[in-house]
Each structure stands twice: as structure tokens, then as C-alpha cells.
Amino acid sequence: MTKLVIVESPTKAKTIRNFLPNDYRVEASMGHVRDLPASASEIPAAYKGEPWARLGVNVEQEFDPLYVVPGSKKKVVKQLKDLLKNADELILATDEDREGESIGWHLYEVLKPKVPVQRMVFHEITREAIQEALQHTRTIDENLVRAQETRRIVDRLVGYTISPLLWKKIAPKLSAGRVQSVAVRLLVLRERERRAFVSGTYWDLKALLNKRPDKPDHRFEAQLVSVGGTRVA
């Protein structure tokens, strides 16, 4: 029996294999293995009649997401399931950020392991770091998973509802996004400020003064900053 270790990328998997004993099998998930439906063809038959199905988020019931395995990921999911049949432990070694935590959670949900599951995290790909991570595994961080899920749902709600409005009101092929639209708005405001700016010519007035003409070393420099209490520079 072997211990199945899953990371995101094949490059990372290839490197980590060199740091682990032969009874460890390191494979890559190739990123996310589940997501909201990207097209109508990915919607499961049981949900095709739902008015919210194309959105992929049940807006009628607590905004529950509808997750599917994209066609491009079915092969890798099958391969991982087959490998898991001969493993006595599953180690989810995806990144420690919210995306990585989400990938690990989705792998757990899709693979439905019947063997012990560990969550392994590391911050550098060295032999020492990998060995250290194996000694300090943990469980999946549900808070990070929910954070990623919330971000994904909001992205879908904003993009899928506002983008079609842009096509009708402004121009085809435009897109809206949770971050993108706000960033564009800030750029527009800054550009308006730039265009409204009226350039002018300003001068600084300085004088070299001396109360004692007979003593040159008593000279000092003064700058005009206000006239009648009104600041000029």
C-alpha cells in the first residue's frame, strides 16, 4: 500500500517525489477539479429546469453553489480515484492560501476517500521543508474554504448579471467583475481629474537679506510664503 500525496501542479509533484520514500505516490490535480458550471452543457440534468441553474448559484436557497467537474478535469479525477484505491492514506498538499485550501476540500469531496486524510502545508519546496510538513499535518481549514467559496459566488453573481447589461447598454463583449469594475471606476475618476486639471506657471520668490551691510556673514535667505495672510506657495 502507498500514501497518495496530491498537489496542484505536475512540476511541483515531480520535485516533491524526489524528497519522499518510495511508498509515497505524488500526483497533481492540475488546479481546481470542481467549479461552478461554465456553460449550459455542464449543468447536471437534475438542475436544468431550475431558473438559477445557468448562474450556478441557488439564489432562492441561501446562495448554495452548484459544483460540477468540468469535462477537462474528468480524466484526472478518474486517475486520482484509481490511485486512491491502492492507497492507505491520502495527503492533500495543496497551497496554504484560500484557493489551495479550496482545491484540497474539493478533492476530498470528489474522491470520497475511505482512508485517513491529512492536510499538509509547506512554504518552500526543499527536502527539509517537506519532511517537516509531513510531521505537522492538520485538518482542512473550513474557514479558508468558505472564504474562497464566498469569493467565487460573488464573482459569479456580479459577472453573470452585470456583463449582459453592459452588452445591451454599452457594447458587446464587455465584462464586469467584483474587482475589475471597481478598479475601472477608480481609473475613470482619476482620468477625469487629470483632464480637468488646469496647468499654470508658478514662481518662488526668494531674497538674500542682510541687516548689517558691513558684515557679509550676517546675510540670510528669505522666501515669500504669504501676502496679507494668504498663502502663495
Tell the residue number behind the cell numbers 515669500, with chain if given. 224
Q: Which pLDDT score, from 0 to 100, does residue 9 have?
A: 96
Tell me, yes or no, whether 163 lies in a domain: no
Tell me, yes or no, whether 120 lies in a domain: yes
- Domain of 30 in residue numbering reads as 2-34+70-138
Tell me, yes or no, whether 166 lies in a domain: no
Tell me, yes or no, whether 88 lies in a domain: yes
Q: Which pLDDT score, from 0 to 100, does residue 216 have?
A: 77
Adjacent-strand bridge partners of 27: 6
Contact 8, 125 (CB under 8 A): no
CATH classification of the domain holding 6: 3.40.50.140
Question: Cα separation of 230 and 233, whole Å?
Answer: 9
Q: Which pLDDT score, from 0 to 100, does residue 214 have?
A: 81
Tell me, yes or no, whether 101 lies in a domain: yes
Q: What is the pTM of this model?
A: 0.81
Q: Which pLDDT score, from 0 to 100, does residue 233 have?
A: 60
Query: How many domains is the chain built from?
Result: 1
Tell me, yes or no, whether 130 lies in a domain: yes
Q: Which pLDDT score, from 0 to 100, does residue 10 have?
A: 96
Tell me, yes or no, whether 23 lies in a domain: yes
Average pLDDT per 10 consecutive residues for the chain, totaling 233 residues: 95 96 96 96 95 96 97 97 97 97 98 98 96 96 98 96 93 92 96 93 87 82 89 75
Q: Which pLDDT score, from 0 to 100, does residue 29 have?
A: 98
Tell me, yes or no, whether 44 lies in a domain: no
